[in-house]
Amino acid sequence: MRVALFITCINDALYPRTGRAVVTLLERLGVEVGFPAAQSCCGQPQFNTGYHSEAAPLARRYADAFHGYDHVVVPSGSCAAMVRDNYPRIDEEATREAVAGTYELTEFLVDVLGVTDVGAYYPHTVTYHPTCHGLRMLGLGDRPRRLLQAVKGLRLVELEGAEECCGFGGTFAVKNPDVSAAMGADKARHIEETDAETVCTVDNSCLMHIGGTLSRRGSATRPVHIAEILAGTEEAPL
Amino acid sequence: MSGTYLGMPSFPKAAAASTRDMRLRGNLRHATGTIRAKRAQAVSELGDWDGLRSAGAALKDRTLRHLDRYLVQLESAVTAAGGQVHWARDAEEANRIVTDLVRETGETDVVKVKSMATQEIGLNDALAKAGISAYETDLAELIVQLGDDLPSHILVPAIHRNRDQIRDIFRERMGDWGRAAPRGLSDDPSELAEAARLHLREKFLDAKVGISGANFMVAETGTLVVVESEGNGRMCLTLPETLISVVGIEKTVPTWQDLEVFLQTLPRSSTAERMNPYTSTWTGTTDEDGPSVFHLVLLDNGRTDALADTVGRQALRCIRCSACLNVCPVYERAGGHAYGSAYPGPIGAILTPQLRGVQSELDASLPYASSLCGACYEVCPVAIDIPEVLVHLRERVSEGGTVSVRGRKTTIEPAKGHAAERAVMRAARWAFDHPRALRTGQRLASRARRLTPRRLPLPGPGRAWSDSRDLPRPAPESFRDWWRRTRGEEAPAEGRLEGGDG
């Protein structure tokens, strides 16, 4: 099985530790991973803001970069959803193979590798925010929660209004700053009310908005990508 | 807030004010939260919800594909049953037709059933200019009208008001419009309802002309259908001598049997009821029963242009249940007025720019009034992929393109004010398509990371972010560089795609 990592632009530049955690995790599970250097942004910011002609070359670049791999694993629900939901609208023929092979990380673990207990150790209280694109476009369902529940030492606590958008929405956060901030504040308040030490998601972009809001409010809860929780073990905690 | 939505500011500007209105936020959070939970329960009771949803979408799509045929069938059935059919190309024409019809009766007062189509065309204002008073009889519409206000929700037009505010409006304004509110009126719901009942009863019994919309029009028999919860609509539909119905052409269904789907999905999606309390149907006129004169005004007002758009046309499936509003986190914070249209919320954000075009600053901002979270699509009983249409309309705003305007293919330019954004998007795409250049940029950003402010106000669009959130800093080493340092140069090489200007 030849598996390629797609490390999205936010993960690459701002949260490289997420990508390193994915490598650690997949290699521990016996998967051989590659990182095709020709990969770039998935084109979601352009596409979702209405610049479809700017997104098209990036979709074709993605298809070319990952050609020949059995699977592409993405530690981002919204970028995986961009590939799976929107690439067929941009260029169905050119992107068909790449679209079929692309999996969000938790989907890949549960559906392709067939594991829910990845042997991880994380002795903290954690709450989980299901990101909108992971929840509704990819239909991740309870896969991330099942993976978290199998982590040794981890206590999962419920988040009120979990399925409500955090207010990030890509360029929405810039174009509609007041509504975005109001949504973020409500999300942060619900997170604070759980008293969890960590809030985790399958997307660093949502986490950037949630974490930025928590930090500004002086909250103690740490934002962490699910890959970083799943990568740690008792012998080698992250 | 009064009179008209015309000239309202763009969505972000209007929303900036409403998000700071804590009373409004509280009213909306309470109301939408309650109805959201009830709807989920009502829908979960049906084992075949997904099937009903698909059937509704398919029925509407098929009808819209052959709408020309069904409208002609509808017209002949209505005429055969003793009604008169009028075709209105736009709001102005519809308002003129209705005004003339009321004038012919010699009346200056009319009663109205709650109607989205007449809100859309601003009929009450047009009638007022002609010296005709139109009285809203739906309880929430009455509250809006007495308060010199505009509706802010499709189903619950006064959702932005709480009981205290309603009591004050009744006390202060009812007397100006007819029977005054009783002295010492409290904010008890039953007292408020009784005050409205007494006030409205006089209107129903005096009215010679009624104006309505319709939820459905059945082409095979020429029957119109109104579903409602209060019974006030039925009074308007049966007591006056003349009934004028203004209905969007997309409300057509081919047969009575088609109603079986929508009469299950509409009430559960809108009021979370298993069945709506009042379903009124009427076919033309009947001697000594109900109005003796019936006019049907068929309203286009941008609908055939929307129909010409293969992605956007799904918005015309909408049955106005308002489930998308009640579940929308943006609507809950911004409130309905910020959408500057009779159609607020997610459905308004895709319907209004199609009906009115994207020329004004407000209409061009509506497709962006969403975080694309997809909750609206999930609850829509006719499966309108609202996020898909939003993104499609964003393309129209930012890149222009070919659209249908009054039936003619027209090429429109990108909306004003998007030039800087387009330059940023183009530059970003160029960088993303040239990984070596991107890597150089990333390294520069990493080296300058300590210079990057986390809290200082940023210039331009960044300010909006830094007002309420701390910024992440670029990592000292990107993933790409880490991989190369620890694993060596990767294959395949990035050569081929770097040629040309991308």
Contact assignment for A48 to B396 by CB distance below 8 Å: no
Cβ–Cβ contact B465 with A under 8 A: yes
Reply yes or no on whether the pLDDT at B267 is more than 80.
Answer: yes
Alpha-carbon span B501 to A27, nearest angstrom: 37
Reply yes or no on whether the pLDDT at B500 is more than 80.
Answer: no
Cβ–Cβ contact B178 with A under 8 A: no
Which chain A residue lies closest to B471 (C-alpha atoms)? A212
Cβ–Cβ contact B212 with A under 8 A: no
Distance separating the N- and C-terminal Cα atoms of chain A: 27
Q: Is the peptide bond before B492 cis (omega within 30 degrees of 0)?
A: yes
**Most confident residue range from B226-240, B423-437, B453-467:** B226-240
pLDDT digits (tens, 9 = 90+) for A139-163: 999 999 999 999 999 999 999 999 9
Q: Band of the pLDDT at B420, cuts 50, 70, 90?
A: confident
Contact assignment for B397 to A50 by CB distance below 8 Å: yes
Looking at residues B109-125, what average pLDDT do you find? 97
Q: Band of the pLDDT at B167, cuts 50, 70, 90?
A: very high
pTM of the complete model beyond 0.80: yes
What's the ipTM? Answer: 0.96
Reply yes or no on whether the pLDDT at B163 is more than 80.
Answer: yes
Instruction: Check residue B257 and report its DSSP letter.
Output: G
Alpha-carbon span B208 to B203, nearest angstrom: 10
Q: Band of the pLDDT at B424, cuts 50, 70, 90?
A: confident
- Label residues B393-417 b or e (16+ Cβ within 10 Å = b): bbbbbbbeeebbeeeeeeebebbee
SS3 content of chain A, % helix, strand, coil (to 5): 55, 10, 35
Reply yes or no on whether the pLDDT at B310 is more than 70.
Answer: yes
Best of A2, A5, A39, A49 to substitute, by most chain B Cβ atoms within 10 angstroms, is A49
Kindly report the nearest CA distance between residue B451 and chain A, in angstroms.
15
**pLDDT of the residue at B29:** 94
Looking at residues A106-127, what average pLDDT do you find? 98
Contact assignment for A176 to B15 by CB distance below 8 Å: yes
Rounded to 5°, angle at Cα A156 from A152 and A159: 165
Q: Band of the pLDDT at B207, cuts 50, 70, 90?
A: very high
Cβ–Cβ contact B337 with A under 8 A: no
B371: nearest CB among A58, A135, A168: A168
Tokens of B55: 């059937």
Contact assignment for B464 to A52 by CB distance below 8 Å: no
Best of A51, A69, A186 to substitute, by most chain B Cβ atoms within 10 angstroms, is A51
Looking at residues B265-285, what average pLDDT do you find? 96
Dmax (CA) for chain B in angstroms is: 91
Looking at residues B432-453, what average pLDDT do you find? 72
Tokens of B268: 């559960």
Chain B environment of A175 (Cβ under 8 Å): 12, 368
Tokens of B137: 């009889």
Least confident interval from B126-140, B343-357, B396-410: B396-410
Give the helix ranges, DSSP H, for B271-312: 303-307
Interface of A with B in 193-212 (CB under 8 A): 208-209, 211-212
**pLDDT of the residue at B431:** 79
A234 C-beta neighbours (distance < 10 Å), count: 12
**pLDDT of the residue at B433:** 79
pLDDT exceeding 70 applies to what percent of chain A? 100
Nearest-10 crossing angle of helices B49-65, B67-80: 90
Chain A environment of B373 (Cβ under 8 Å): 132, 136, 164-165, 169
Alpha-carbon span B95 to B101, nearest angstrom: 10
Domain boundaries, chain A: 3-112, 125-231
**pLDDT of the residue at B436:** 74
B374: nearest CB among A54, A132, A213: A132
- List of residues 6+ apart from A181 with CB closer than 8 A: A167, A213, B19, B467, B468, B469
Alpha-carbon span B110 to B92, nearest angstrom: 19
pLDDT digits (tens, 9 = 90+) for B7-64: 889 999 999 999 999 999 999 999 999 999 999 999 999 999 999 999 999 999 999 9
Reply yes or no on whether the pLDDT at A232 is more than 60.
Answer: yes
Looking at residues A184-188, what average pLDDT do you find? 97
Give the helix ranges, DSSP H, for chain A: 9-13, 16-28, 44-49, 52-65, 77-81, 87-101, 105-107, 132, 143-149, 172-175, 177-194, 204-216, 226-231
Contact assignment for A209 to B469 by CB distance below 8 Å: yes
Give the helix ranges, DSSP H, for B66-183: 67-80, 91-105, 116-121, 123-129, 139-146, 163-177
**pLDDT of the residue at B495:** 38
Alpha-carbon span B299 to B157, nearest angstrom: 22
Looking at residues B147-168, what average pLDDT do you find? 95
Three-class secondary structure of residue A232 per DSSP: coil
Q: Band of the pLDDT at B3, cuts 50, 70, 90?
A: low
Reply yes or no on whether the pLDDT at B381 is more than 50.
Answer: yes
Looking at residues A23-50, what average pLDDT do you find? 95
Reply yes or no on whether the pLDDT at B1 is more than 60.
Answer: no
Looking at residues B87-115, what average pLDDT do you find? 97
B474: nearest CB among A13, A19, A38: A13
Residue type present at position B279:
T
**pLDDT of the residue at B388:** 97
Give the position of tokens 């997104």. A55
Q: Band of the pLDDT at B456, cuts 50, 70, 90?
A: low
Alpha-carbon span B481 to B484, nearest angstrom: 5
SS3 content of chain B, % helix, strand, coil (to 5): 55, 10, 35
Reply yes or no on whether the pLDDT at A201 is more than 80.
Answer: yes
Matching CATH number, A125-231, of 1.10.10, 3.40.50, 2.60.120, 3.30.70: 3.40.50
**pLDDT of the residue at B496:** 39
- Higher pLDDT: B446 or B260? It is B260
The overall average pLDDT reported for chain B is 91
pLDDT digits (tens, 9 = 90+) for B122-132: 999 999 999 99
**pLDDT of the residue at B468:** 84
Kindly report the nearest CA distance between residue A197 and chain B, in angstroms.
19
Cβ–Cβ contact A45 with B under 8 A: yes
Which residues, in sequence order, are bridge partners of residue B404?
B409
Looking at residues B403-408, what average pLDDT do you find? 90
